[in-house]
Chain A
Amino acid sequence: MSPARWNLRRVFRLPSTRRRLHDDVEAELAFHLEGRVEELMRDGWTREEAEREARRRFGDYARIELEVERMTIESERRRTMRDRVDGVMADVRYASRSLARQPVFAAVVIVTLTLGVGAAAAIFHALDRVVLHPLPYPDAERIVYLGTRWGKERPIGAVPPGRFQFFHDNNRVFEALATLRTFNAQLGDDDSGTPVEGARVSEDLLKVLGAKPLLGRGLVSRDYEPGAPPVAVLGHALWATRFGADSGIVGRAIRLDGRLYSVAGVLPASFEVVEVQSPLAVVLPLVLSSSDLEDRGANYTAIGRLRRGVTDAQVGEDVASMFGAYRRQFPERVEKDDGVAVMTYEQIFAADLVSQLWIMLGATLFVFLLACANVANIVYARALTRRREFAVRAALGAGRSRIVRQVLMEMLLLGVASTIAATAASLASVRGLVALARGALLRESQLRLDPRVVVVTTIVAVAASLVIGLVVGLAATRAGYTRSLVGSARTSGLGGSSAHRGARGVLVGLESALAMVLLAGAGLLISSFLNVLRVDGGFRREGIYTASLSRPPRDYSNAEVSRRFEQRVLEQLRATPGVISAGATATLPLRRGWNLPTTVQGHNDLSEGATEFRAVSPGYLGMMDIPILAGRDLAETDVAASPPVVLVSEAYAKRFFPGASPIGQRVLVGCYKGCPDRHPTPMEVVGVVRDLRDASLEQARPRRTIWVSWVQAGGDMSRVPAFVVRASDPGVASSALRRAIAEADPRMTPPDIMAMSDIVSASLSWRRFSMVLMACFAGLALALTCVGIYGVAAYAVSQRVQEIGLRMALGARPASVVALVVRQGATPAALGLVVGLGLALYLTRVLSKLLFGVGPRDPLSFATVALVLLGVAVAASYLPARRAARVDPAGALRAE
């Protein structure tokens, strides 16, 4: 091989073949041997002898040849690698220089991609945590919850204790089944004690979870035996904060509600099975007594670990047959429409959130596609303005692939930059999600940065950038682009430019279609939200301020203590200037309330299992503007010693006393279909109260409710009520509530004070969550579409300056030029809008569950958002159109 050829190979980076390398080595060694032979022959050796001698002097020919060949191949490999790296580095340098020359372009692409990818990443992040990996335990997919299902209602994630016990003893599909019930207690001495949340748990809980205690031991059989010394297992957070993560804690004593417990162990930080306000502080053994087993209340969380390999069908079958056996054995414990359900963590605690998050993930997919379309649009526009640069490079010998590679490299850089920005943005916005879903399931602890989410984000952002780069690179370098060198870009592009405009028109149409779908969704959610806001719950919101108390001192289980406290607070409040009226209630509107079975006295069939039960102070109804429709209100004279009275709601009266006046009738409270073994005092109905929507503003029908006087409610309904005042000034109200409570009992923990309007607003947090997210996505979509339409229209105008100048020279008026440009700019958007309208009509069905008072195809919402989109399209093309109308005909024509 000649030196020249060899160098050419280097210059053109032609790959060296193994064959050639082998030949080279062989040639070099052969030259040596041949030279030696000739030399020896000159000295008089015969050819044969000379060849033998040369070989001898050379040594082991085969080994040396192999060694040299191996070295040559190795060094060749290294050289090509170096060349390749150099090539990539050159591309990177070239691409970054080229981007640096147009920082606005780079910034717009990065911001657009970041918004598109970041939104999806944030939602994906939340979804991943809540749905895919909610429980931090081994084989967590085998952990399920046993729940109760009433008719067609959504099942609740708890069961009555007797049912748990039966399933625990008889099931065949669970490896282990455990139950727990949470409680509030005072940790430490009475006066300086800290309120904590704990759970009593049955024996196998740790086995179900597959969790191991961090220190000491979990609860074992002997802790459950009668007369066993009381032991407690501490939660990680309590151990870390209150006991300074003391490793010698095991065996020490703690005081809970006045009783002493010996600490058996400490739970790991990941321990998490139920939704409670704060992590469980302490775990105690739960022993079910025979009277517990009779309890009908579904208040026990039952959690089980399925045996390895059992199918969903087997589980369903076994649970159903077991429930049949349970019903036969304890018919009195099973009610009509009563059933069991096997549920996942997510189904119990996050069903609403999960379905919303899926919808939102779908919405972010649209935002993402829209961002991609927009980036493609921008990159395409830039590629068109660079046709001359490309043409020059092509003329100098750069192939099409080289130019596409350059575009790809630029997109890769932009994609990587966007990934970094999107990851940061999703982390930041996830905090916002938590704030938005306040009171809902999303918790900070579930939203740690997960490497998998980052990986997915990176893949999506980079892949999207590369696809855009490839498509745009190929499209922009379609045949004919070299002609750009000849003459101006405009004249060369006469044929091509309409094709280019067409491609960009398609992108704009796509953007409008996607934006239309998102806007329709947002429009429907916003009108739903407004509809709910307009719902009249039937109670007053303005000027009402509430104070909720939790964890009263232990002596409040004595009704007398609690009653005295209530009286003192109310007296103090009523004496405060600025307070118009004051009252107390066991249940604030829109908060979870109590329900109890009721039976009409003498009519055991006139009975229901769950009547809403409201215990309030006399005067509360008047203060809340809740009218009495018949009879009288509760009065100060209805005290513990006087005959018990009750008010019933319209719905209750209609159901149990149809066509007759309920006044004077008697109701047994706490009794289902009569009370054969107990004799509660019948309560006389003295009035009828208007129906409320106080469980939720969205409830379809008012619930049947009974109202009793707080002092006659009896039992441990609520050891301390919430106080409510009506006042014109929020500051006066809250300081009055705070002071009255502190003065009545200094031991009381400070109240949680909220305006009624805030309670209403908090009850809508779900709705606000989806509405705000969807509105953000729609706003984003609108902005991106606007940028897209503007970009295309502006480019078209800049390309057609001469044509417009000509038209104007020939007498076209500026108005008609504006109309022309606007029409051309808005047409693809309008076409996209029609497509998007069809798509939206089909897709908004998924929102059905989130809508209120508006159908998924609400014509008004659709028409409104369509007009908004059209308006934006016209406005976006109006700016370039106005510039077109200002074209100076003479100047434009001279420029040619």
Chain B
Amino acid sequence: MGVRRIWYVMWKEVIELRQDPRIFGIIFIAPVVQLAVLGYAATTDVRNVPIVVVDADRSRDSQHLISRFTGSGIFELVDVVSDERQVDRYLESGDAWMALSIPANYGKSVAAGLPATLQVVADGSDANSTNIALGYANNLLTGYAQDMVEQRRASGATTATMGGSIEPRVRVWFNPTLESRYFMLPGIFALLLLVVTSNLSSMAIVREREIGTLEQLNVTPLGRLELIVGKLLPYGIIGLIDVLIVLVVIVFWFEVPLRGSFWLLFGMSVIYLLTTLGLGLFISTISHTQQQAMMTSTFFFLIPMMYLSGFVFPIENMPDAIQPITYLIPLRYFVVILRGIFLKGVGLETLWPQALALLGWGVAILTLAYMRSSKRLA
């Protein structure tokens, strides 16, 4: 293996990249922008739930009840209407997720100490958020009712007691505010790295084939390994620069605590880059045109990795038949490693199985790509 020859291949690759210099802007700036936007977008908290109120009563009591909702910080009042039929439109269009209807005689019943019935209708088309918003609404109304009885008892208006009720006090450990950001950012980091580096390298060899310059390369004294190393190195360097930039954003901008060792994180990222570059190269060797390379990589690698890695959708929720497939996905291991280092501050003593799996994957795919390419180039 001649260092000089590798150097020439690298240089040639960089010149070709510079054919459209915007590529550098894309691969260095786009990940940061994406990370910034997606980092803020990734929140599973249920807040600002748009609610429409049907106030058929328009009394002081109904106003009071409505102010409970608006003052809760969870609900956002979209509109107050008088007729129940108007609700349909709000829920159908999704302008409101929930409708609270207050019956016409509400104020009178409450004043007279008679029971009143409130109705809550929720839009179930976003099941997850709805479930939680319903819990909040019910809880709020029960608290309101309880306060009402206490008041009446205090003023001597009644001696009756209301049935006991339970006040949920939910605490979330490790992530008290349920900040999805802490959980999602490491995953986004892994995914961006995968997209950028494997896309770049998947075009590396197939481009030469498509343009017809691969034959020319074949007649030069360049060895296959030299060609591959020379082709992958620039992308590896780009990947490492991306790792550093993105880590800076995660730690200093988003202030995700890095509880574990930085060097371990960096080392793991290098191993991960081996797998993504190897994957790209492998795709390049099995494709005839860049279009094919792009389709193969998106459909057969990127999308499955995104959905089946546990990055957004928890693996433990998947059916038993699907779970074994996730072991084939390198991103799965890297996501566990990242979350472990970032959030829990654990080291290799806990993460070695994942690290080993990742390394194995990288070595396997690089070997496979090398073998395929030797057949093609011969």
A binds B: no
Point out residues on B near A: beta carbons under 8 Å: none
